[in-house]
């Protein structure tokens, strides 16, 4: 009696009890959705500016992954700038202080990466438009790990 009950139970467990066909050729597979991706290289300056919006730094710092992939705008002071490469291979990294604490002191850093060269130097006031990409962590000269919001800058401008 126990064998008779166990066999149907195992059959249901292994093969299920739905109306789903067992053969792959009978399954309907819907077509993949079509995504429209606009490369940022073909966006005009006004389109980049139009997509970007300001964001409260404390909200971004609290959960940078939440805003990853979104277009944002920042205005601030270049605290540090490092360029490498030249021509089409030039890369620029900018530590941008976005909160004016008064007396020329800026805090709340956004780490911006830009493909290209700039004329900026430390102390310049700039605009930065781009896509936030979570956070960027680096080690300070004192040996501390520092994590700040990361921006893939698509457009920069001097104030």
Cα diameter, the chain: 89
**What was the pLDDT predicted at 65?**
96
Token pair in block for residue 45: 């300056």
Rg for the chain, CA atoms, rounded: 26
List alpha helices for the chain, DSSP H: 2-15, 45-51, 57-62
Mean pLDDT, 10 residues at a time, the chain of 159 residues: 50 51 52 53 90 96 96 98 92 98 96 96 97 96 96 97
Say if CB 73 and CB 127 are below 8 A apart.
yes
pLDDT for the residue 35? 46
The residue with tokens 């990409």 is: 133
CA-wise closest residue to 116 among 133, 130, 100: 130
Q: Mind listing the domains of the chain with CATH numbers?
A: 53-158 (2.40.50.140)
CA distance 149 to 97: 11
């Amino acid at each position: 009696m126990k064998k008779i009950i166990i066999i149907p139970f195992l059959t249901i467990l292994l093969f299920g009890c739905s109306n789903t066909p067992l053969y792959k050729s009978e399954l309907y597979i819907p077509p993949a959705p079509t995504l429209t991706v606009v490369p940022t290289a073909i966006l005009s300056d006004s389109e980049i500016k139009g997509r970007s919006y300001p964001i409260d730094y404390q909200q971004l710092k609290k959960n940078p992954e939440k805003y990853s992939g979104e277009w944002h705008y920042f205005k601030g002071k270049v605290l540090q700038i490092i360029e490498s490469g030249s021509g089409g291979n030039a890369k620029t990294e900018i530590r941008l202080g976005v909160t004016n604490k008064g007396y020329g002191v800026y805090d709340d850093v956004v780490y911006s990466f830009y493909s290209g060269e700039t004329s900026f130097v430390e102390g310049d006031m700039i605009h930065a438009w781009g896509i936030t990409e979570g956070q960027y962590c680096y080690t300070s000269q004192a040996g501390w790990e520092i994590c700040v919001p990361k921006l893939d800058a698509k457009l920069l401008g001097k104030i």
